Structure 1
């Protein structure tokens, strides 16, 4: 296809369509973080042990793994838009159920349901955005998913703080006789409903429409959204899509093996990208940062402020990634991010080797306390400008048309499983020693550098039909 057949600028419509799809990422971030401000109040309300409290928090990650696993096959059978509507419904049900729960058992059920929605959104948004975006701006538009995630995390933390402040505490009664922590969950209802209503107005993916032999509708989307001009150019694009989709064979997990007994190499690369994104320990910084901040001199009350500042930093560096991903490419950003994370995590491990005390009483003498604080922020910057957004971009575009949604499901499910493993093992590792924990994450960051250098191919500017 000649360059003259595709608009060189990114239309406002494709930006708006991508932004609406990325609302799933906002809910992904919001739902993941909203429980943070409610944890202590939930423990006191239901008298939970630390083990049960931990499972109440982490059960959403298991739900996300399930949601990611089913999202791809569902999107291939029912369409991307219908799958988004199902995810929006799950977010809505979870918000209401969690806010009005009567005990810990049904709270866990509602959290698990919300997790399914999170997992589905983690697959649907990058796949859909990649399929409606022109190649020259697909990286920037795909990065909207990560920007929406970190914005959702920030919105959840901020709304929880405001609600708790208005009520005088997360466990205090706020409005309509409901405690503040319940309203923290109920606030998710507004973006969930908005996501569902706006998703109804989205055009279906042209790749899905071609797979359904709806060529006229696919042509309209390619012209009006993607920006391909001219009847001949649109027909040429449809023919290219059709050539990469086996319309005679139902897509499913079998497409990931290529007729062999094992997964194709490209699927393994997607899985390992997902696993490395979590095994560097990014969620440890967001879920378990309180002891770190206290060890360098912050009070417990100040730790929330520091967490909010960290989330704002994450938003800022994600915007930097959006500006760079289509200019310098995906692979250079990942390599730079791996190098920065290795340095930062190594410094944290060295810093904590100088610590005194144990458990929550650990303290760091100066200057090691300040070194650890600066290293933690360097880690967030390195991750947020590279592995945070770029992995989602790659997962949305690196697979061929015949397997994209299903392969993305498998990779995202692996990511949620890795998230669960890291989140649940950190307290155990921390009891042994934070040097071990951060040293282990630094090792994975170093391994990720060699993995990207050896196995990940650059996809900047390539058409999706060129992916094999």
Structure 2
């Protein structure tokens, strides 16, 4: 009975901390979560901009000419295939990958708050460079600065949210990051739809308006308090206790504080976090740090996010119609993320992961069938209006599946599973893998679209099957588990217990015996 319960992922017995959800902690989490605006806006803006004719004429004239070719031998799937164009899009992510590893050291040594500030300021510089770009080199330099900012923000913000939130609300408050990612993406789509009507310089406005989320994040970070976990790690128990009492709304925080102190004792023994992360006892955390962001990107969501306007132009929508389709998708993604915030702490992480995977799988297969049977890819490409709208509906169903499952949970679960001593480097691995896969998908999607054609959706569907099975067998439930007692989920899991039970830290052993 015990084995069956753990295989299904239900939570082991857990401690009950005193205190609740205070307006102060909600306000701090909302401000920190605006880091998602930066990621969402910069993630979404490039796809619309690269479908604007004035932008292509100025920076990528060869792609513009190819897009308007009428030769019968030219596949409509291949019109936007340009490595220079995709380098503009994907350069941001390789820069973010490198920056996230630097951010790990900053976050651990100086706290979560300084990393968030660095992220906001770097994005501010990158947005200014892109908005005023005179050549491709200036464009790419701006994207690199955006990437540095995103690397810092994505590394620090999810950690901040998981450490500040009480465990019974951690899912909802941490999902605020993905909510702001969705809002940022929607804002980008609305901006592109409006600026596309401004002849010659509308693209400048689209790229330059990224300064707004950057300013919001930069100014907000100045107000943010530091997390009690970070204060415990860097400044000791007294300051951590004072912050805990403030954010929990009670003076009785001894049990949660005690778990933090135990975590700190272990953390003090770790001199080389990356090397330490490779130890056998951290194997489940390391696997999740790689697998979850890897799978999150192999859902294919960023192929849709980057290139929705391009994709819809490929299948016959006019520029404005394709941009409006991106707006519709953005609205639906935002609504689905809000739904996830209400559901994740009630139904748990695993159930939502599994349902979202099935939903994405079904919609991707149907999209591939529609394109395979009804889309004429020769010449300029065509598809009947009815099937074009059906395609839009299926993409929306797919986006809903992602936006209420792998979207928010892909950030939530990794940020809550790491022990304090490896938390910063663990989150850096998550961000690095995430951005590396975004880079690969962004750099390769247009070429894959050209060669795989409708089969690209079947490619991502296969990965959705794999990741759904992975969740079913290997991801334990983390709902309502204190962040400093998270090792208990690995100790109880049918597969991972063989790793952690052998080398579980002594202070944690006594904790489990007590519970």
What's 1:253 paired with?
A: 274
| Kept in 2: contact 1:73–1:251 (CA 8 A) | no
C-alpha RMSD of the superposition: 2.3
Structure 2: 5+ residue runs without aligned partners?
1-13, 63-81, 488-515
Contact 1:73/1:252 (8 A) holds in 2: no
Name which of 35, 38, 44 aligns with 1:27.
Answer: 38
Shift of 1:403: 0.9
2-side partners of 1:360 and 1:59: how far apart? 31
Deviates more, 1:428-437 or 1:25-34: 428-437
- Aligned positions of 1:407-418 closer than 5 A: 407-418=426-437
Where does residue 124 of structure 2 map in the other structure?
92
Indicate the residue corresponding to 1:42 in structure 2: 55
Task: Indicate which of 51, 58, 70 corresponds to 2:90.
Answer: 58
State the alpha-carbon separation in 2 of the partners of residues 27 and 144 from structure 1: 13
Q: CA deviation at 1:80?
A: 0.8
Q: Is 1:391 aligned to 2:386, yes or no?
A: no
CA shift at 1:387, angstroms? 0.6
Distance 2:304 2:205 in 1: 26
**For structure 1, which segment, 93-102 or 46-55, has the greater mean C-alpha deviation from structure 2 after superposition?**
46-55
Contact 1:143 1:322 in 2 (8 A): yes
Using the TM superposition, give the Cα deviation of residue 369 of structure 1 relative to its aligned residue in structure 2, in angstroms.
4.5
Compute the displacement of 1:17 (Å): 0.5
The alignment status of 1:452 with 2:471, answered yes or no, reads yes
Deviation at 1:453, TM superposition (A): 0.5
Describe how 1:30-429 pairs up with structure 2 within 5 A.
30-39=41-50, 40=52, 41-49=54-62, 50-165=82-197, 168-169=198-199, 171=200, 179-230=201-252, 232-233=254-255, 235-243=257-265, 245-250=266-271, 252-258=273-279, 264-290=283-309, 292-293=311-312, 298-358=317-377, 361-364=380-383, 369-429=388-448
Tell me the matched-pair count. 453
**In 2, Cα distance between the equivalents of 1:235 and 1:396?**
19
Cα separation, 2, equivalents of 1:220 and 1:307: 46
Deviations 1:102-150 (A, max 9, x none): 3221221121111111122122111110011110000000000000111
20-29 vs 293-302, greater mean Cα deviation: 293-302
User: Residue 334 of structure 1 aligns to a residue in which SS?
Assistant: helix
Per-residue CA deviations over 1:179-200 (Å, capped at 9, x if unaligned) read 3332323322233223112211
Long gaps (5+) in structure 1? 172-178
TM-score, length basis structure 2: 0.82
Cα distance between partner residues in 1 of 2:271 and 2:235: 13
Paired residue for 1:175? none
Give the superposition deviation at 1:233. Answer: 4.4
Confirm or deny: 8 A CA contact 1:296 1:373 kept in the other structure: no
Rounded Cα–Cα distance in structure 1 between residues aligned with 2:391 and 2:211: 38
Q: Quote the residue 2:28 is aligned against.
A: 17
- Tell me: higher relative CO, structure 1 or 2? Use CA pairs within 8 A at least 6 residues apart: 2
Q: Which secondary structure state, in structure 2, belongs to the residue aligned with residue 353 of structure 1? A: helix
- Residues 107 and 114, structure 2, Cα contact 8 Å, conserved in 1: yes
In the aligned structure 2, how far is the partner of 1:187 from the partner of 1:336?
36
Describe the superposition over 1:160-211 as per-residue Cα deviations: whole angstroms up to 9, x where unpaired.
433444xx32x2xxxxxxx333232332223322311221121112112111
1:246-293 Cα offsets, whole Å, 9 max, x none, are 224335311211279xx7232112211111111111122222334654
Which shows bigger deviation, 97-106 or 112-121?
97-106
Question: 3-state SS of the aligned residue for 1:10?
Answer: coil
CA distance, structure 1, for counterparts of residue 465 and residue 475 of structure 2:
15
Q: Structure 1 residue 328: deviation in Å?
A: 0.2
Q: Contact 2:103/2:115 (CA < 8 Å) preserved in 1?
A: yes
